[in-house]
Structure 1
Amino acid sequence: MKTLLGILLMIAIWLSCIPEARAMGDTHLVPCQDSAAFITRMENAPEGYYFDQPYQAYADNLLCGDDGLPHLQLRFDRAIDIAIPFGIFFYFAGFVGWSGRSYLIASKRRSKPEETEIFIDIPLAIQSFAKGLLWPLLAFKELSTGQLTAKDSELSVSPR
């Protein structure tokens, strides 16, 4: 409980001390169709579908810097473009990790745990995958009960 309170206090202090960044007011990016360097790059590009189509799309939709190259501007109204793929990746990575972890924990309870690591027990693997789908809830449950982390007395310390 003290750890959770410490983390919440740290986040509250961090959020209150960081000044808000404004990227929209003093940006050096201009629409690509108005950038002289981008237009020069577009005119010097070879003819063909694989050059014309992307350059036309960049000119219509993206912002370019002084170098004439398209840049993506990070703004809070576009944060969903990053949040959704990150959330999907985070959930999938947790699913894979939790499924493997639950399979190894369950296989150690068997009579021959080495065999279940070499020869995959399909019913046990399916059960582990089903548990993996609910990994955020199971992780929170194990974290709150103390099963997820090891106690300090269980950790080995290097003699150095």
Structure 2
Amino acid sequence: MTRSPGATTGCRVVLRGSFALPLARHDAFRLFTARGEELRVPGWTPRFFVDDADDLEVGTVWQTRDDDGRPTTWVVLDCEPGRAARYARVAEAWTAGTVTVELVDAAEGCVVQVAYDLTAMTTDAAADLARFADGYDAYLEEWRTTILDHLASGGAMPGPV
């Protein structure tokens, strides 16, 4: 974690990690979009502000709520369908930053590389962000397990890109 000179309440963390999936990257990619996550993540309910919004289009905005009910606004910053997406993520008066998901071909599927670059806006958010950073590897393992459980149960898959 880093603190800027003069900063007294917040902090910034940059986290990177990866995990393997037994899916081709083109098939797996949609699982990391707003609508794809809705299929596999309990409680993930993106609310779009434009009818028929394309969750792969740069500039698309949607909102979710975190575990504490805090609104979190997302914006697609970059998207290379089938390969990578970068999102701005702002949890109201709590944290702000980016989330990047990149998928790389592997011998038996793909490797998902996930990076969070977040800044906490308050002392409480900084403590929460420190806990998130400490548990980041377990967090990504939970992503992997959730996806594998979804696949094993015959859960719906979004169409490939």
Quickly name the TM-score band, shorter chain normalised.
under 0.3
- TM-score w.r.t. the length of structure 1 is 0.22
Relative contact order higher in (CA < 8 Å, ≥ 6 apart): 2
Q: Name the larger-Rg structure.
A: 1
